[in-house]
Amino acid sequence: MTLTPAARDRISAFWMLLPTFLLLFAFYLYPTFYNLELSFTDITLLQLRQGGDPVGFANYAEFLRSPSFLDIAINTVFWLTFVSVSLMLILGLLMALLLNSEFLQRIRMTTFARLVLLVPWATPPVVAVIAWRWLFDPTHGSINEALLWTGLISQPIAFLANLTTVWPAINTIIIWNSTPLVAVSLLAALQTIPEEQIEAAEIDGATRWQNFRFVTLPYLMPTLSILGLMSVIWTFNNFVYVWLATGAGPGTYTNVLATEIYIRAFTDLRIGYSSAIGVVMAVVMAAFGALYFRVSGLMDMQDRVG
Amino acid sequence: MQNLIKWTATAAMAFWACSAFAQTELTFRFNDSEREELRAALDEFEAANPGIAVELQTIAWSDSRDQFLREGAVGQGPDVVHIAFVWTREMAEAGIVLPIEQLTEYGAFPNGFDDFIATDLTAYEGKSWGVPWSADTWAMVYRTDVLAAAGIDDLPETWDDLLADSRMILKTTDSIGFAFPAADQVWFPFNFYLWSNGLSIVEEDGTGGYRVGASAEELAAAMDYFKTYIDEGLVSRSVLSIEVPHDPALLQALLDGSQGMALMPTNTYRQLLGAFEEANPGAEVPFASGVTMAGSEGPRTHLGGRTLVVNSSTEHPEAAWALVQYLTEAGLFEDYYTNQFPAQKSLLSKIDYRPEESGFAEQLANNTRTWGAYSDSGAGVGQLWNLTARAVATSLSGQSSSIEAAEGLVTEIERLLAN
């Protein structure tokens, strides 16, 4: 039997893709389905050898009806994700514009500024949180010392223990650690904008703001959109910043979905229940993923249409 | 062919010889800070047992329980593991530790297993599953010079005294009076408060079952007591993020005299004394200890401590047991593990307390109780602890009112007891 060239291509493509499929199955699909299976049981950490009993959708119902669900959802969607990502994008854009500006070139600080910018990004999140915990410390922290010295406050502030300051403090840590990536990515996008277009707009009498609004920003939009969506996914899933900074406290004030999973699985030992929360989280992320592909697809279409 | 057989036989003999004389490799997981001291003790054990080598593994207490539960479920993990008293039943229920009755076939303790305290906490389904290793409890620690500066001559005896003295210290010296960890380990002071007022988180219901040992209003009143310290500024709000009594912020305040009173376990107090003496060689130690506060009833703290368990998946149960026996000898507590008290009655009675430790001696001898119903109820002390600490911290931080937090706590404990 003779195979057509197209059939041969398909077979060779299959063999080339097989290792990837196997890896995906072993490290993504199998754990995902196992987690799904656990979410329908009452298994605890003490019963790992025996296994749990099936409980249907009881874990999902309990979580979605729990009094803390709304607080956790608001914390995750608004405080952790929306506030952090919005500020990361705005500050990242401002930093990229500054790094690309003639002002920095004039004072010969471009290279230095770009290197300095990379320091927070190169700092592992664990180290960043520990360093910031010390900075925020009410008795020995330099932020309180500075505020006291300038007379802005008369008593030290326990930033990570005060309900009014704890979320801004966590947002600060996340933004400090993550914004450089946004800035560097946008800087790269800024450097692809043809100089002639900006010059042409200037000759046509465009102001600085009009130049930014109608020439620079449209060029940055594809990068900004992708960065925004990816930052949403990374931040929404993040566990490290909240857990290490506050342990989801004071009380449960900064509890988010990721820390709730950890608390339920490893302090309350309820693996089945925490798996259900994990599935809920995965569903929300899948919605973000769908949005991501839709936005990417739209942009791709726009590029092709011109 | 003949050569092949000869070589195979030689290789097999060499392999057998190597196996026969190979060292038994044990892993001991230890969670306290005395790593160097324990390593020295293990070197002594290895010298006395030439066939056994012990790898010392350390892990944070906060991760220890879950890590071993996960490892044990898949037949992995260290041979000998250092756990808290109250985790022993959970480990037995999970089927990941060996019963003591099986291990004592390799050798008995000099004074028998009955010489150990709190063996009831190691019992599950008629067998014992761990060896109590060290005993401790919490007691009050005072900075005597701070109290003197505030004009306080007598140590406080009741929770009301403690609050009044804290107000006095802040007013006269601008120092903190009583400070406590208000996050995870607020569990301890909160329970001490309840117990000394005849209440508890869980109690027997008189019909063989268990129930919540305090009403929501009583739990809220207990929360309000501790909240007063924060609301009146008697202690910094930063205690809301302090999880443990050995947090540097708390210990440093005691060391530099900016705090006058604290509650802490034995080993933390010994570390505090050691740190002061190291920083101030030859100086008079300005610390005293005393029993905890009384409420409507006498002062009461928990009889706590650490247990040694042998992993049911160990390939060397005999060597593991030899290590457990060595670790419970008197010499270990005299020479290496000096911040802890041994858990044998025969050794506890011989402890030579320093004058500064008299409060701990009194507390341990006359004012402790075991977790009792907490442990017997099957709710799991760990789960009760987490629920309670979260509820108390919710109230202390102002996230919810004390009564709301207390009502939520009662509901959660009832759910746990029902399950």
Q: Kindly state whether residue B365 falls inside one of the protein's structural domains.
A: no
C-alpha distance from A281 to closest chain B C-alpha (Å)? 23
Q: Tell me the per-residue pLDDT of A13-67, one tens digit each, with 9 for 90 and over.
A: 999 999 999 999 999 999 999 999 999 999 998 888 888 999 999 999 999 999 8
Query: Could you tell me how many residues make up chain B?
Result: 419
Reported as a pLDDT band with limits 50, 70 and 90, residue B5 is: low
For residue B109, the distance in angstroms to the closest alpha carbon of chain A comes to: 30
The average confidence (pLDDT) of chain B is 92
Q: What per-residue confidence (pLDDT) applies to A229?
A: 87
Reply yes or no on whether the pLDDT at A300 is more than 80: no
For residue A272, tell me if it sits in a domain.
Answer: yes
pLDDT on residue B12: 58
Would residue A11 count as lying in a domain? no
- What is the rounded CA–CA span in Å between residue B117 and residue B343? 6
Residues of B in contact with A163 (CB under 8 A): 397-399
**Is B238–A158 a contact, with Cβ atoms under 8 angstroms apart?**
yes
**pLDDT reported for residue B9:** 60
Domains in chain A: how many in total? 1
Residues of chain B found within 8 Å of residue A45, distances taken between Cβ atoms: 66, 69-70, 94
- In this structure, the number of other CB atoms found within 10 A of the CB of residue B351 comes to 15
Count contacts between A and B (CB, < 8 Å). 97
Looking at the DSSP bridge assignments, the partners of residue B265 are B138
Residue B361 lies in a domain: no
In a domain, A278, yes or no: yes
CATH number at residue A287: 1.10.3720.10
The pair of structure tokens assigned to B399 is 């996230």
ipTM passes above 0.85: no
Average pLDDT over residues B312-329: 96
The whole-angstrom separation of Cα A51 and Cα B329 is: 39
Shared-domain flag, residues B329 and B411? no
User: What is the extent of the structural domain holding B104?
Assistant: 25-136+304-348
Least confident of A2-6, B229-233, B261-265: A2-6
**Same domain membership, residue B60 and residue B115:** yes
Measured CB to CB, residues of chain B less than 8 Å from chain A are 66, 69-70, 73-74, 90, 93-96, 182-184, 236-241, 243, 249, 252-253, 380, 382-383, 386-387, 390, 393-400, 405, 408
Strand B138-143 relative to strand B341-342, pairing: unpaired
Q: How many domains does chain B have?
A: 2
Q: Is the pLDDT of residue B20 over 50?
A: no
Are the beta carbons of A161 and B66 separated by less than 8 Å? no
One domain for residues B298 and B391 = yes
The answer to whether residues B376 and B210 touch, using CB atoms and an 8 Å cutoff, is yes
**Same-domain status, B293 and B386:** yes
Give the minimum alpha-carbon distance from A295 to chain B in angstroms, rounded to a whole number. 39
| B1, part of any domain | no
Average of per-residue pLDDT across B40-56: 96
Range of the domain at A221: 48-305
Q: Is A25 within the bounds of a domain?
A: no
Domain-located, residue A3:
no
For residues B246 and B318, membership in a common domain is answered with no
Yes or no: say if B124 and B89 are a contact pair by the CB < 8 Å rule. Answer: yes
Q: How far is A283 from chain B (nearest CA, A)?
A: 27
User: Are the beta carbons of A67 and B394 separated by less than 8 Å?
Assistant: no
Chain B residues in contact with A253 by the CB 8 A cut-off are 394, 397, 399
A269 inside domain: yes
The answer on pLDDT for A73 being more than 70 is yes
Comparing B352 with B137, the larger pLDDT belongs to B137
Instruction: Mark yes or no for CB contact A247/B183 under 8 Å.
Output: yes
Least confident span in A54-58, A283-287, B192-196, B224-228 = A283-287
- B241 contacts in A (CB within 8 Å)? 158, 160-161, 246-247, 249-250
In this prediction, residue B350 carries a pLDDT of: 85
Residues of chain B positioned with their CB less than 8 A from the CB of A67: 408
Same domain? For B249 and B318 the reply is no
Q: Is B178 helix (H, G, I), strand (E, B) or coil?
A: strand
**At which residue do the structure tokens 């944070």 appear?**
B60
Strand partners of residue B271: none
For B281-300, the pLDDT digits (tens) are 999 999 999 999 999 999 99
Measure in Å the smallest separation between the Cα of B338 and chain A Cα atoms: 30
In one-letter notation, the amino acid at residue A210 is: Q
Q: What is the mean pLDDT of residues A131-155?
A: 92
**Burial of residue B219, with CB atoms counted within 10 A of its CB: 0-12 exposed, 13-18 middle, 19 or more buried:** buried
B62 and B88 part of one domain: yes
B86 vs chain A: nearest CA distance in angstroms? 14
Last residue of a domain, one of B314, B333, B348: B348
Q: Are residues B109 and B234 in the same domain?
A: no
- Chain A residues with beta carbon closer than 8 angstroms to that of B399: 163, 250-253
Q: Do B390 and A137 touch (CB under 8 A)?
A: no
- Contact (CB, 8 A) for B403 and B216: yes
Same domain, B262 and B390: yes
| Residues B409 and B391 both lie in one domain | yes
Q: Do B73 and A48 touch (CB under 8 A)?
A: yes
* Domain annotation covers residue B13: no
B29 and B98, same domain (yes or no):
yes
| Closest residue in A to B388 (Cα–Cα) | A251
Identify whether residues B128 and B237 lie together within a single domain.
Answer: no
A127 lies in some domain: yes
Give the pLDDT of residue B18.
Answer: 45
The verdict on a CB contact (< 8 Å) between B240 and A249 is: yes
Tens of pLDDT, residue by residue over A86-95, are 999 999 999 9
Among A155-159, B18-22, B94-98, B115-119, top mean pLDDT goes to B94-98
Contact A268 B383 (CB under 8 A): yes
Residues of A in contact with B394 (CB under 8 A): 250-253
Angstroms from B154 CA to nearest CA on chain A = 30
Structural domain contains residue B20: no
Within a domain: B294: yes
Task: Read off the CATH number of the domain in which B326 is found.
Answer: 3.40.190.10
Listed range (A89-93, A250-254, B195-199) with the worst mean pLDDT: A250-254
pLDDT over 90 at A225, yes or no? no
- A293, A279 contact by CB (below 8 A): no
Q: Is residue B376 part of a domain?
A: yes
C-beta neighbour count of A126 within 10 angstroms: 11
Tell me if A53 is assigned to some domain: yes
Q: Is the pLDDT of residue B26 over 90?
A: yes
Banded pLDDT at B21 (limits 50, 70, 90): very low
